[in-house]
Every structure is written in C-alpha cells, then in structure tokens.
Chains A and B, each alone.
Chain A
Amino acid sequence: MQSKIKLLVLFTFLSANIFGQEEKNSRFFIELGIANKTIKDRSFSKLRFHGFIPSLEIGYEKTDKNYWNIDLLAKYGIVNYRNRYFPTTYIEGNLSVRYAMPVSDKSRAGGRFRTTLNVLDYNSFSNGAWTTKHHLDVFLRHSFNISKHALIGEFTYPLIGLASRPRYVGLDEFVASNSDNVPKILYSKNKIFTLHNYAEPTLRLKYIFKSGESKYYSRLTYSYLYLNSVNAYFKHSIRLSFGVHL
C-alpha cells in the first residue's frame, strides 16, 4: 500500500507540474483524495482501527487582501482492525468557512468555523459511534514562492466547540427511544469542548506549479484529533488529494 501512495504522490505532483498554472483571485475548486486514517473511538472500541478513506472536496475561495474560503468535504470508506476483523463503514462530512486578514505580505491570520458529522457503523449499527461537532478555530495561512513553485501552508487549531457523542454505555435510553429519529440522536445532548478536552491541529500544504493560467494543484493534509467526552476519541489522518480550480 505504501508503494501505491508513493505512486499517487508522484502522479499528483507530476500532474501539477504538467498542468499547474498561475492562481486566480477567486475560484471554485474540486478535489479528490485519499486519507490514511487511524482511529480509536473508545465509544466504539478500545481497539485501533485503520483504513484508507477516499474523499471529495468542493468549495470556493477568494484571495484578495483578505482570504475567504468555504468548502464541503465528504469521506466514505471502510476501516477495520488489523486489516482483518470488524470491517466498519466510516462516514464523514464537514462544512468549513475560513476567513483571514493579512498580517504580512505573505501571511494571513483569522478564524475558521467548521461543522462535522462523523459516523462509524459496524454491521448496520450493531456497533457504532458518532461525533457531531461545531467549532471555532484559529486559522493561519502563509504562502511560500520559489521561482515557479508555490506552497501554501495553512494551520488550524480549535479554541472551542460543541459536540454530541455517545454516552457512557454508547446506547442509552435516549438513543433507544429515538431510534426512529437519527438526526435527533446525532444533534442532541451537545457538550462544550475546549482546549483541555479537545485538540485537533490540522496542517494543510497546497502545492502549485505556476505557469500560465492556474488550474491544477495537489494538497497534503495532516490532522490529529483528541476529543475527550465520557469516552475519548483519537484520530490520526494524512490525506493526499489533488484538485482543479474551475
């Protein structure tokens, strides 16, 4: 699998070299990728689950004096234990809005709002866990330009969030008596999370080969999640994606 990832990296950067061109100020984009995820959600299992999860991201960004971005990201795939036991459907969807103001020629700082739905579903919920969270993050963005190569680094870190998670035993009477109303289960009984029980640093590196009109790019996203409600949730993810500006 590692060799496949290396090939994918190579292909992505080659495609950026062949097709990559100058950035526009505002544009829509679409991005396909694959994330290498390691998960331990204690509500779900005390074992570590792993998988390669395909992703699709669409969005709009505007880069003037200030930076605006809104995007929708969906991930869907299978994780399992030791590539062998308990194949589990992993579903994630999130909506992000980023805004940043200039702090220097190449740096901007601001905030991000993100709302996320994440579900683990084993065997039609004979076991499962969910995390819905809405959080405000610090957002930093910096551009590096060397000759025709552009690298844009982004860093986000949550300050405060609101999350709904399974309770102590996973399935309590609230879940049992509302099993015909899934959104109510997913979006009720929220708790506030902040720095001491919630950490999710995310680093994104976007590479563009600037030549003529900008169109294609590649991106590497690293994130780590630690969310400690009654049962802690740990997640580690490295996602490689390549996209096109429309």
Chain B
Amino acid sequence: MTGQAGRTAALVLDRASVAYGDVPVLEELHGTVYAGEAVALIGPNGAGKSTLIKAILGLVPTVRGRIEVLGVAPAHARRDVAYVPQADTLDPDFPVSVEQVVMMGRYRRIGWLRRPSAADRAQVAEALEQVGLSGRARDRFGTLSGGQRQRVLLARAISAQPRMLLLDEPFNGVDAVSQHSLLEAIAALKARGAAVVVSTHDLAIAHLACEEVCLLNRQQFGFGPTGTVLTPERLRATYGGRALELRGDRVIVTQT
C-alpha cells in the first residue's frame, strides 16, 4: 500500500480491537506507520502495549477492524518481523553463548537441519558489531550486564534482516552506553527501510528516536507525529492525570 508522498505503509491499524478470548484489551486503534519510520507506544503499565505488539505478531487475535503488517495479515508477515523481548525476562543461567543467541535470529533462514553457512556467520558477526559487542561473542549470555543482554537480543533481531522491528520496553533498566548503542542500531535499521515499533515509558526517547507516537491506555489517546501528539493534556488523559508532573515545559512520567 502506498500512501501520500509515495511512502510505503508498513503497519496499518484500521479501527482495530484486540482481545484475549472474551476480554477486550485494546479498542478502536487507528493509525499508520511507514517504512523507515518508528512509532513509540506510550502508556502506563497494563495499558496494553505488550498486547498490541503481540497482535502485530499475530499471537493475539484482532476481533474487530483490521491490522495489516507489511501489506498482509499479521500471522503471514512473521518471516519479515523481528521481535525483541525484555532481556530480564530470560533465564540468565541458560547455557548459551552470545553468538548462539544472535544465531537464533537466522534459524528461520537456516532451517532445522542445515549447518549455518559462512553468510549466516557473517550476518551474526555484523549484527554483533552493530551493537558494539563483537568482543563478547563467545561469552555466556548470562554473564553480560542487563543493557548488554538487551543489545544481544537486538543483534539477534538485526541478524534476521527484518522489515519490521518490534521492541518491548528495551530501555528499562539499561545503562547509558547500552541505551546509546540501542538507539544507534535502531536508527541504522530505519535507514535501511525497516519500520520500528517500540514500547517505552521514556518520553525523551520517543522524541529522540520516533517520528510517530501512539498513546495507549486500553484505547487510543492519540496517534500521530511526536511533536504534536506528546502534549501535557493528552499525556494527562492517557495516564489518568495523577502520574504526571509538569516541570516548565517538560512532562515527566512519575509513576509507571
């Protein structure tokens, strides 16, 4: 689908409602994200940010309206979509090396039986290079810091050469170096034409890395260019008023 100014729509939310069984989680979502752009999903805990990401992956059903990913239904787009979970949800004792984790991103291309080719290995090395962890390839995943683990998971996504990247709270508890490295790698993916969906509590990051913002709390409180949508009024509406503090012209989310 080609929108205004010849941009390609990567993600289309068309009055979409998402539900777990009979329990509606998100209702009436409406907006478009174009290739090469990023959207920040912003809202309090329990707002349905992770659920929207799962719906884009086709793991949670769209009960009304339509979600279109790279021009097709979500479940059919998975080959070109990479998902980055929160690093601290993974078992740090798992006996797997950094390199092996990144290679998981290649599994779909390698298949079940074939050995990883030289091209697969080169992709893995390049992805690790992009997140600045080339020197840690042979270390056990669990020995890295939280921020470094998050970078490894991003490298895994990069090695899959995705056209869309989904990140669930990638900046939670991440040190400054890792945050910088994550932002750079995300910018590189966008430059290559990938669309990015990132859930975050950090409004500064939304300003820094995302063209679009989607304000969520069970329903949509705004979807559009970051500068116009991230207003104190809309944030107050999204967070229910109490969780925000205004300092001059800056809005700070004090409670997640």
Q: Do A and B truly interact?
A: no
